[in-house]
Homo-oligomer: A and B are copies of this chain.
Amino acid sequence: MNYTARQLKLVSQLHKVGVDALLITHLPNIRYLCGFTGTAGVLLVSAHSSKPKLTFYTDGRYSRQAADQVQGAKVVIRRKSAFAEALDALKRAKFKSLGFESEHLFYSDYRILSNATRGKLRLKPTSGVVEDLRMIKDADEIERIKAAVLAGSGLFPNALEAIKVGVAENEIAGELEFQARRAGAEGMSFDTIVAAGLRSALPHGRASDQPIPADGFIILDYGVILAGYCSDMTRTIHVGRASRERRRMYDAIREAQLASIEAVRPGREAGEVDEAGRTLLKKAGYGEYFTHSTGHGVGIEVHEQPRLAKGQTRKLLPGMVITIEPGIYIPEEGGVRIEDMVLVTESGHEVLTPTTKDLIEV
């Protein structure tokens, strides 16, 4: 990973934002900038002198790990808390203005920061400074994301094999997660969704103790974390023979998903990608049942920028990695969703998820 390049990009962003330094409290942002994967730490990036300076604060539990992992930043270990040590350093700071991550600093910590630096530093709330850098993946990241997507997709046959009438959704999730670990995953990107029968009408039906019924859709939505990067995919299968109406639902969602994928290219607004699929679903009479947005960026976190939702004007750029995942959810009937991960390329897009979208009946 080219941490130096990322750090330099951040420094030039700080000049644009108009702050001498940025206090980074969001762990995925810290990981992106210096490689630390632990769960406690604060990164201070100052850009006021010609040479940018990064200092990473953590506590004694992570001294060995920080020494092994952190790149391009001085590591400071503190017995108490990383945040307290960073505050001490800020009291001695030579710069005048400090940005903080307003969406990743709790009000209580903001008050502590504000009291500690009163009369000394001008505090400026910032939003998405590091996230905007992370939105455009570099070559190393794209390689890792592709590996995660293939690992995730490779587990789909295991899930299919585990699906039997009467087996609990939880057991299918368990089998997926077990095989994910065997495939080298550090964990799952989010709580695995296995939503069978009427539960498939829940857009967020995480696996439960409900047994697989003899007839109905099953939505499988899961992802793996491999070398720090997330995958995310959804397929919907049917237990028993799908009725004509259910096939119509499935075909509509497949067409909508393909239409949104087709709309992915540099320069397109995120909202247009959403619109492409949504229009088809409306025409097919399912508009009111598509109750969420079309997709989101994926990387170190499973939900990143950009958001692909109605009215979003952010333009797609090469290097973005997004999901395309329209769904139909009919209460007391069932639901379908298909989700791929898609890379925005110079000339258009590349679908990363290789799993078939033909309706599988088990």
Contacts and interface: CB of A to CB of B under 8 A. Distances in A.
Contacts of A60: 291-292
B106 A291 contact: no
A108 interface: yes
Contacts of A175: 178
Interface string A99-141: 0101111111011000000000000010100000000000000
A16 interface: no
Interface in A123-181: 125, 127, 170-171, 173-175, 177-178, 180-181
Contacts of A10: none
14 contacts: A60-B292, A61-B202, A61-B204, A65-B204, A102-B106, A104-B106, A107-B110, A170-B186, A171-B181, A174-B181, A177-B177, A178-B178, A186-B191, A187-B191
A271 interface: no
**Ranked 6 nearest A-B pairs via Cβ:** A174-B181, A178-B178, A102-B108, A102-B107, A60-B291, A61-B203
A106 B106 contact: yes
B106 A125 contact: no
Nearest to A106: B103
A209 interface: yes
Contact of A103 (B108, B202, B204): B108
A291 B203 CA distance: 44
Interface residues of A, number: 43
A125 to B, nearest CB: 6
A61 B291 contact: yes
A95 interface: no
B107 A100 contact: yes
A292 B177 contact: no
A334 B321 CA distance: 41
A203 B60 CA distance: 9
Contacts of A107: 100, 102-103, 105-107, 110, 125
A174 B170 contact: no
Contacts of A3: none
A182 interface: yes
A181 B173 contact: yes
Interface string A211-234: 000000000000000000000000
A324 B182 CA distance: 32
A201 interface: yes
Contacts of A62: 204
A203 B125 CA distance: 34
A184 interface: yes
A62 B103 CA distance: 23
B105 A125 contact: no
A244 interface: no
Interface string A260-287: 0000000000000000000000000000
Nearest to A174: B181
